[in-house]
Amino acid sequence: MRVLFDTNVILDVLLDRQPHVGVAAKLFALVDNGRMEGLICAMTATTTYYIAAKSFGRRRAHKQVHELLTLFEVAPVDGDVLDRALDLDFTDFEDAVLHEAARSSGAAAIVTRNGQDFAHASLPVLDPRELLSAVRAPSR
């Protein structure tokens, strides 16, 4: 399964945000061991760097983003993605961009803790626990 990770799930792991880090870290492990293809949006990398640099300093931010880019594929954001995002009925433009980047990259789903922000999504939107259960469920 090819899944685009919302920034909040990435930050749960990198910032050790309780109580969310446990499930998010298990999803990272599924990506790491090849049981799931993980994607991040290009803007997730920049947001993560910014927040990590403020929290831990530039050196650690650099290391964390480098590790993210090693683990996750990047869903590009280009003019077409931005144009399509503008046409969506999303209240938050960043979420619309993430949605369109996911679609353009062939993601089967988006994982986020803010599912309500994706009410008009054309892709399945799962919270981390739902995704973990779906990946662990035996195939039929």
| pLDDT band for position 138 (cuts 50, 70, 90) | low
The pLDDT of residue 136:
83
Whether 120 and 87 have beta carbons less than 8 Å apart is answered as no
The residue-averaged pLDDT of 32-39 equals: 96
pLDDT at 122: 96
| pLDDT digit string, tens, across residues 37-95 | 999 999 999 999 999 999 999 999 999 999 999 999 999 999 999 999 999 999 999 99
**Average pLDDT value for residue range 4-12:** 97
Name the token pair of 27: 């999803």
Taking 80 as the threshold, does the pLDDT of residue 140 lie above it? no
Q: What is residue 56's predicted lDDT score, i.e. its pLDDT?
A: 92
* pLDDT 10s digits, 102-131: 999 999 999 999 999 999 999 999 999 999
In CATH, what is the architecture of 2-134? 3-Layer(aba) Sandwich (3.40)
Structure tokens at 113: 């803790």
Q: How far apart are CA 16 and CA 20, in angstroms?
A: 8
* Domain locations along the chain: 2-134
Model confidence, pTM: 0.94
Closest CA to 6 of 128, 119, 92, 88: 128
pLDDT reported for residue 39: 98
- Helix (H) or strand (E) holding 49, with range, is helix 42-56
Q: How far is CA 105 from the centre of its chain?
A: 13
Predicted confidence (pLDDT) at residue 139 exceeds the cutoff of 90 = no
